[in-house]
Amino acid sequence: MMRSDPRALQLNDQGQLKHFLTLDGLSKNILTEILDRAESFLSMGEQSVKKVPLLRGKTVVNLFFENSTRTRTTFELAAKRLSADVINLNIETSATSKGESLLDTLKNLEAMQSDMFIVRHSDSGAPHFIAEHCTPNVAIINAGDGRHAHPTQAMLDMLTIRRHKGQFEGLKVAVVGDILHSRVARSQLHALTTLGVEEVRFVGPKTLVPEYFAELGATICHDLRAGLDDVDVIVMLRLQKERMAGALLPSESEFYRLYGLTKESLAWAKPDAIVMHPGPINRGVEIASEVADGEQSVILNQVTNGIAVRMAVLSMAMSGQMQAQQQEGGE
């Protein structure tokens, strides 16, 4: 489905975001700008009026072709806190389930003067396809596409790490579990390496952590103890059984025995290591409840930070779109 380079497609002539499709190719400066802007939005959650007028008069459409609760809800909250009007399109009852094509649906939404589409799709490259084919003045935000990317999840993870560790330089990060099917892991790897961590380890069985990830900059570990040794950050991933074809695992209990994060295996990391998980959590499959709810867990902080990061991305993309339109209007 992918055609032109999404890295070029998502920036305007001034190098600002106008779409947010992937972290691949984005500069450290842009990622840092997202984090800095998100920091400025975090305090809003403590205010009695949780709104700023940055997207007042703009219409944001949540276009989710895959089920989601956490991601869709935090995008909706982010848009509303920026004062946008929000439409949640129920794909299962929409015209696309009656045979209307994706492009037909887009054209109808464009005709309603929509300003931004937040897209989640099971096909890798779907948000990029939409960005290529929709009218130029609509910003496209990738809320997760196939196995390809989940850039806002990676950025909320980066904000969580920065708030707890202060910086990225010198950090060792272990990402454990189903790397093969994880769009989150791919986006995290791009973000972590761009922001300057010392090492990113992908940890799991050979069937779920292929060696080719080493070409992207990850250290591959098939032994949990070696993978967690002396790390500062642990990111646990769920087993994506809905994406698995064939017998990639002997059983969930065997996976938990070998790769589950327990109080005992957590002790192999640094004493002040933080534990993260993009959710949903499968307790007793990839992580023990005492760890998920323990003192080193920052999982709920990730959810809180997700609203601020998505506010930052929405506001930056809309600003970049408006700059591009103004330049085109002046030419």
Binding-site residue positions for carbamoyl phosphate? 70-71, 120, 150, 153, 279-280
Residue with tokens 């439409």: 87
Helix spans in 59-150 (H):
70-81, 102-111, 126-133
Residue with tokens 């700023």: 52
Cα 311 vs. chain centroid, distance in angstroms? Answer: 13
Tell me which DSSP letter residue 60 carries. E
Angle at the Cα of 132 (from 130 to 136), degrees rounded to 5?
100
Output the known binding site for L-aspartate.
98, 183, 238
Angle at the Cα of 60 (from 13 to 132), degrees rounded to 5?
45
H or E stretch at 74: helix 70-81
Q: Is 33 in contact with 48 (CB distance < 8 Å)?
A: no
Output the known binding site.
70-71, 98, 120, 150, 153, 183, 238, 279-280
Max intra-chain CA distance, the chain = 64
Q: Which residues contact 44 (CB under 8 A, 6 or more apart)?
A: 50, 51, 52, 81, 308, 311
Which residues pair with residue 88 across a beta bridge?
Answer: 62
- Residue 280: name the closest of 238, 219, 330, 220 by CA: 238
Q: Around Cβ 90, how many Cβ atoms within 10 Å?
A: 9
Q: Which residues contact 256 (CB under 8 A, 6 or more apart)?
A: 284, 285, 286
